[in-house]
């Protein structure tokens, strides 16, 4: 451990970072550490000012370790945690969480991370499944209501396209043609360009 990064975060102004700070400083074995603290920043957001700054410093090769007090201070979900740790590993940076006693420089820590990665993969699969179910359900709803689904271009047949061409030939603007067909002018431009 030569130049560790200490990451701290609290969610509200009513909370305080001192407990985290004390524990993190005690854990380092050198004086040359950097602190990144997001104060009153929700853990639900992926992009946080100090987390982003720390990751930028890691990309520049400024740190060899990232130490956090607790996993939920660092990542918003298991999936997010796995993504962050894989990014650290790509830059040869070791990750440590004090409360959960995870140190990826040890065989036990690596084993724990493999379990978390499996949970993250499962979480990703569940998200994909939920999205697919939602889309399928939405398509069924639209079809039941007699509405179209799919790319807008596919909703226009050759007769429609000929009408669009005729309107252009008589000097009608893309905006006006779009209004007639219930689409944005850029869609009319795309359709006529392709045909």
* 165-181: b (≥16 Cβ within 10 Å) or e: eebeeeeeebeebbeeb
Give the sign of the dihedral formed by CA 148, CA 154, CA 156, CA 159.
negative
Q: What is the pLDDT of residue 151?
A: 57
Mean pLDDT over all residues of the chain?
A: 84
Q: Of 11, 42, 166, 186, which is the active-site residue?
A: 11
Mark out the alpha helices in the chain (DSSP H runs).
18-27, 49-59, 71-74, 78-90, 107-144, 158-169, 174-181, 185-194
11 noted as active-site residue: yes
Of residues 137 and 168, the one with the higher pLDDT is: 168
- Read off the pTM: 0.62
Distance, in Å, from the CA atom of 127 to the CA atom of 179, rounded to the nearest integer, reads 37
Of residues 154 and 38, the one with the higher pLDDT is: 38
- Per-residue pLDDT reduced to its tens digit, 114-123: 887 787 677 7
How many other CB atoms are found less than 10 A from the CB of residue 60? 9
């Amino acid at each position: 451990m030569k130049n560790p990064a200490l990451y701290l975060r609290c969610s509200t102004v009513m909370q305080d970072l001192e407990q985290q700070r004390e524990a993190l400083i005690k854990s380092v074995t050198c004086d040359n550490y950097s602190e990144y603290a997001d104060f009153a920043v929700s853990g639900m957001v992926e992009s946080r000012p100090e987390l982003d700054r720390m990751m930028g410093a890691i990309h520049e090769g400024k740190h060899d370790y990232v130490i956090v007090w607790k996993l939920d201070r660092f990542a918003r979900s298991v999936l997010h945690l796995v993504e962050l740790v894989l990014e650290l590993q790509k830059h040869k940076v070791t990750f440590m969480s004090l409360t959960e006693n995870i140190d990826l420089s040890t065989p036990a820590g690596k084993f724990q991370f493999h379990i978390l990665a499996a949970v993250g993969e499962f979480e990703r699969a569940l998200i994909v499944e939920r999205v697919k179910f939602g889309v399928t359900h939405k398509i069924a709803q639209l079809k039941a209501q007699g509405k179209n689904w799919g790319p807008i271009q596919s909703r226009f047949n050759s007769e429609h396209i000929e009408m669009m061409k005729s309107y252009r030939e008589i000097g009608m603007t893309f905006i006006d043609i779009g209004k007639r067909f219930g689409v944005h002018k850029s869609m009319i431009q795309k359709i006529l360009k392709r045909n």
